[in-house]
Chains A and B, each alone.
Chain A
Amino acid sequence: MHAQELEKTAVSCLKRILADPQAVPFPKVRDFFTSDSWESLFPMEQFRIFRMLLERVEYDGDSRALSLSLSLAGIRRFQEELAPAPERIPA
């Protein structure tokens, strides 16, 4: 399997997992991945988020199995990032 193909599969798997309400109990993260927001991001920002949410990606060439280990701390951090900044109080 080519690295690019593997990456594409990993991203689609990650999106599917994060959009599943039973798998990830973070509504903002889920909302982000079920909307078009992910597609509107620049590739470098997608890469940064991808790295933040994933701890490890393993691919077994014999059984052609792909396993993703999510980072709970990363998901929490991403949930915090998604929160809008508090309104600035004009001086």
Chain B
Amino acid sequence: MSESMVAQIETLRGMPLQALRTRYQEVFGGEEEPSFKRDFLWRRIAHRLQEQAFGGLSETARQSLDQLRDSPHLASGLDPVRRARAARAGPRDYRDRRLPMPGRRGVSGTATTSASRPRSWDTRAARSPRCMPRSWKRRRSPA
């Protein structure tokens, strides 16, 4: 009677490193083992044995993996999910929100719009006329 899969895996788990390396080369057709770690080797061999016994990936799954491997997302080192999330969020803004937008003049100028101006500026300007743009002062002065 042939040994069951679980028994084979249990045997692998108890094997010394040298025996695992030999077994790896048997199972993978003489291929050099990529790592000398025991844990890695027995799991890799167990996976391969199960793949041979129960069948590996389906053709569709294999094609999907091939596409994923060739996709630019992996080349850039960012997985597609994170990439999509980053695209939805837009470019990250490291700018200090209290500062005026680039290309606009600051507090003393007249080009700052309410859209780019935090609300706190208005209250500060109301308290201290020195912080207030000239156009605002004109607007505030009684007719």
Contact = CB atoms under 8 A, between A and B. Distances in A.
Chain A interface residue count: which class?
A: 10 to 19
Please classify the interface of chain B as helix (H, G, I), strand (E, B), loop, or mixed, using the class held by over half of its residues.
helix
Contacts of A28: 10
B47 interface: yes
Contacts of B10: 28, 31-32, 37, 82, 84
Interface of A: 28, 31-32, 35-37, 40-42, 44-45, 49, 78, 81-85
A45 B5 contact: yes
B9 A41 contact: yes
Chain B interface residue count: which class?
A: 10 to 19
B20 interface: no
A35 B7 CA distance: 14
26 contacts: A28-B10, A31-B10, A32-B6, A32-B10, A36-B13, A36-B39, A37-B9, A37-B10, A40-B9, A40-B43, A40-B46, A40-B47, A41-B50, A45-B5, A45-B6, A45-B50, A45-B54, A49-B6, A81-B4, A81-B6, A81-B7, A82-B4, A84-B10, A84-B11, A85-B3, A85-B7
A46 to B, nearest CB: 10
B141 interface: no
Interface in B66-81: none
Interface string B40-54: 001100110010001
Given A37-B13, A40-B43, A83 B7 contact: yes
B120 interface: no
